[in-house]
Amino acid sequence: MEHRKLIETSCSHFNNDPRRMLDILWQIQNSLGWISPDTMELIAQLTNTYRVEVEGVVTFYAFFMSKPQGQFVIHLCEDIIDRYAGMLPVQNAFEQILGIKVGETTKDGLFSLHLTSCIGMSDQAPAALINDMVVTNLSPNKTKILIRTLKKTRNLASLVKTFGDGNNSHELIKSMVNNNILLKGDVLLGDININAGLNKAFSLPPEEVIATVQASNFKGRGGAGYSSAKKWLAAAATQADKRFVICNADEGEPGTFKDRVLLTERAELLFEGMTTVAYAIGSQHGILYLRAEYRYLLPYLESLLTKRRNEGLLGTDILVDETENTRFSFDIRIQLGAGAYICGEETSLISSCEGKRGEPKNKPPFPAVSGYLGYPTVVNNVETFCNIPRIVDKGAEWFTSIGTPESSGTKLLSVCGDCTRPGIYEFPMGITLGEVLSLAGAKDPEAIQIGGASGVMVGRADFERQLCFEDLPTAGAIMIFSSQRNILEIADYFMHFFIEESCGYCTPCRVGNVFLKQGLEKIMAGKGETSDLKYLQDLGKTIIQTSRCGLGHSSPKPILSTMKNFPLVYAALLKEHPDGRQAGFNIQHALDESRIIAKRRSIVFDPDLGGD
Amino acid sequence: MKKKRIATTSLAGCFGCHMSLLDIDERIFDLLELVEFDRSPLNDLKKFTRRCDIGLIEGGCCNEENVHVLREFRQNCDILVAVGQCAMMGGLPVMRNAIMHSDDPLRECLDEAFCTPKVLNPENQIPNDPALPLLLDKVYTCVDVVKIDYQIPGCPPSGETIWRALNALVKNEAPALEYDLIKYD
Ligand SMILES: Cc1cc2nc3c(=O)[nH]c(=O)nc-3n(C[C@H](O)[C@H](O)[C@H](O)COP(=O)(O)O)c2cc1C
Ligand code: SF4
Ligand code: FES
């Protein structure tokens, strides 16, 4: 096999360790373009595992290719935000100029075209990835120019005419992505003093670092809103010879892109935060789990890690206390994901870091007790880690003076959809939805999806509500839909998203979500009846109650929340049939095949024979 | 108390559920104190004589006649009950719906039934007498075709189960069946 050498090198680069399967696969795919069955076989031999194990991993992740691909692989975001921003004409333009359909590769082996879920560019939609290069604000015309340029130059860099703002123009990023930071708050996006928090932490005993954060009443920013200090205390209290600190930069929730901006503009603060937490819980190893969609940031992030190693802020013995005879060492590796929303769920993320399919694990044990490779592991969101050095630096009192009693500090919101100013806003917690909408220049807002697909859809009645843990919580996404949009179509897209992204482990989630979508589509087709609402409600409840992980606990929400907040939209489409017939059943259609086979008509049902 | 009027029918079923109804044994006399039978295979009445309180349906819909009868039942009964697995979920007949990845699933089903070498049918004839109702493209459950008020699971539900359900319905109550009555594994 001609590629043998290369595969062997890649595997041995990671010590033939199956726990580094994702890294091995990425390295091989980067050279060979795809993972063939022979490649899987060989990887399995070299890493001393089974071919099905390797194949299981390859087929789990959307970005690992088990079929040959073109030199340039295009992943066009198909999210509802992109659709409303004109994604379908862009898709047509791609298909037309390339002469292929979605899922195909051009004959010359240059291009492959795929659709994908949100790539974290909802403020500059429609957007797509071409290999690891992000292209934004697409139009049919721009699409054609991009492809023509690529055909001529065969060079991705030639696509970027003007760089985005801030670090997007950095040597190692050089991207057309824009930060779109529209409101800077005091905690994260305003002026910050880098390493001040870490230095202060180093001057305190670890327990006191945790105590400060506990006093600040800080809650995690990744969605669940759990007290970070509590999580760390649990990890610190668990006896083990190693502990892990993992940063969740999977940011897969549709409409969320605030971590993208933090990774671009506040990456040092993030690494500082991870180091602070490591110091607080006594951890030696950090992992930044970076979603594959943000691979364009990888060289830049690696360079910052190197810089911090050179500055003595990462690595062996970064803090030595001769009098107490304690030494603190900590380093961070970046684990690249491979395109799976479920890997944002913390236990799936850990599975993924372990080189496995990104399937959730049972809780308990919680990761803080038994996580990565069985060691106590703290998983926190990017924004969470960025907050920590700021709290340690400026004190708990300063932090609790911002926001509401239950939700201290600020929150980054990523606003997108029907508004004139989509982008990133750092608000104090507790801002009302209405204020956000007016600052973002919302156009005729009718329905707002709070917290992405797994959040809730609210209407005008809720515009006075506060965005914070005690009222309307959000991991960051605010998707604005004007009165021109079809609310059921949006819910239907989110169901499509969950069906695509379910890991398939639980039947209620794998199958139930399909039934939910079918039920919704029946109503959308005007064939629904009042009893269908109850069916959707019951089924949704069952899925929430019987699924294993947060995906199944959230997936019915687009339907349940639109049913609750927009009952009239549903009611307008429902029909009652006084004769008790089900509108979904069409006898004529059911008889078509039979008429052809039997070569006769239906005496009972043919309309011209007097049937109905 | 005025006697309730009951109608029953067997669509794409095996008459097992009707047999099970007869399994209530001598309680049939008690039942007759409470109800009168209208259209039913038990008395061979083929048409409704008047509106009924309760309709019991055995079997799902595999042909046009089943649909026709089921709609008549819906039209003429206040409360419609799907009795047994076939009525609720399609039961054995629904297995033909498993032929999904075919352009012509119905033909494939008929070929399998009548034209495989296992059956003695030298001319490969598929029954097609004009008196035979046309088959539907697939088997539909009763719930697919009309609104159903109650379902009694089982293949068949035991006589006891049916007895309890009927007793409740006669008293205008929803049949609440204990776990043991509808536990089949
Ligand atoms: C389906 C699913 C997807 C998730 N995606 C993310 C994500 O992309 N980023 C994130 O930080 N948390 C995500 N979470 C939440 C994580 O499981 C976890 O709660 C979070 O990373 C903890 O960090 P925090 O305490 O700092 O908020 C997701 C949860 C679920 C159930
Ligand atoms: S709820 Fe869905 S995503 Fe979560 S483990 Fe079950 S099948 Fe997988
Ligand atoms: S990038 Fe398309 S919706 Fe987020």
Ordered domains of chain B (ranges, CATH): 4-95+134-182 (3.40.50.700)
Interface test with B, best of A575, A579, A587 (most B CBs within 10 A): A587
Both A476 and A495 in a single domain? no
pLDDT given at position A272: 98
The dihedral sign for the CA sequence A391, A397, A398, A399: positive
Sheet holding A315-321: strands in order across? A315-321, A326-336, A285-290, A244-249, A377-381
Tokens of A452: 């992405």
**Domain CATH for A585:** 1.20.1440.230
Per the structure, the complete domain to which residue A561 belongs is given by 488-612
CA distance B132 to B135: 9
Q: What is the 3-state secondary structure (H, E, C) of A361-391?
A: CCCCCCCCCCCHHHCCEEEEEHHHHHHHHHH
CA distance A382 to A263: 8
- CA atoms within 13 A of residue A182's CA, in its CB half-sphere: 19
The dihedral sign for the CA sequence A26, A32, A35, A37: negative
Contacts of B160 (CB under 8 A, 6+ apart): B24, B181
Given an 8 Å threshold on Cβ–Cβ distance, is A587 in contact with B67?
A: yes
Q: Which residues of A touch B106 (CB under 8 A)?
A: 593-594, 597
Low-confidence ranges of chain B (pLDDT < 70): none
Q: Residue A76 forms beta bridges with which residues?
A: A115, A128
Burial readout A59-73 (b: 16 or more C-beta within 10 A, e: otherwise): ebbbbbbeeebbbbb
pLDDT given at position B122: 85
Assembly ipTM? 0.92
Is the residue at A27 inside a domain? yes
pLDDT given at position A1: 57
Based on the structure, what is the number of domains in chain A?
5
Both A315 and A337 in a single domain? yes
Both A493 and A426 in a single domain? no
Interface test with B, best of A535, A588, A593, A605 (most B CBs within 10 A): A593
CA distance A355 to B102: 39
Contacts of B36 (CB under 8 A, 6+ apart): B3, B4, B5, B6
Ligand 3: list residues with CB < 6 Å: A 77, 79, 81-82, 118-122, 125, 127, 254-255
Tokens of A522: 């029946």
Low-confidence ranges of chain A (pLDDT < 70): 1-2, 610-612
**Domain CATH for A433:** 3.10.20.600
CA distance A97 to A147: 8
Is the residue at A176 inside a domain? no
Both A523 and A586 in a single domain? yes
**Domain CATH for A99:** 3.40.30.10
CA distance A535 to A528: 11
Specify the ligand 2 atom closest to the Cα of A501. Answer: 3
Q: Among residues A432, A450, A482, which one ends one of the domains?
A: A482
Distance A506 CA to ligand 2 centre (A): 5
| Protein residue whose Cα sits closest to atom 5 of ligand 1 | A344
Given an 8 Å threshold on Cβ–Cβ distance, is A597 in contact with B144?
A: no
pTM of the model: 0.85
Computed over its alpha carbons, how large is the radius of gyration of chain A?
26
Q: Which residues of A touch B136 (CB under 8 A)?
A: 590-591, 594
Both A382 and A434 in a single domain? no
Min Cα–Cα distance to chain A from B53, Å: 15
Specify the ligand 2 atom closest to the Cα of A549. Answer: 4
Q: Among residues A346, A381, A400, which one ends one of the domains?
A: A400
pLDDT given at position A324: 81
Tokens of B16: 């097992």
Tokens of B96: 């033909």
The answer to whether A587 faces chain B, any CB pair under 8 Å, is yes
pLDDT given at position B185: 78
pLDDT per residue as tens digits for the range B56-71: 999 999 999 999 999 9
pLDDT per residue as tens digits for the range A64-100: 999 999 999 999 999 999 999 999 999 999 999 999 9
Average pLDDT, chain A: 96
Both A239 and A372 in a single domain? yes
Nearest CA in chain B to A592: B137
Tokens of A509: 């989630």
Contacts of B27 (CB under 8 A, 6+ apart): B163
The answer to whether B133 faces chain A, any CB pair under 8 Å, is yes
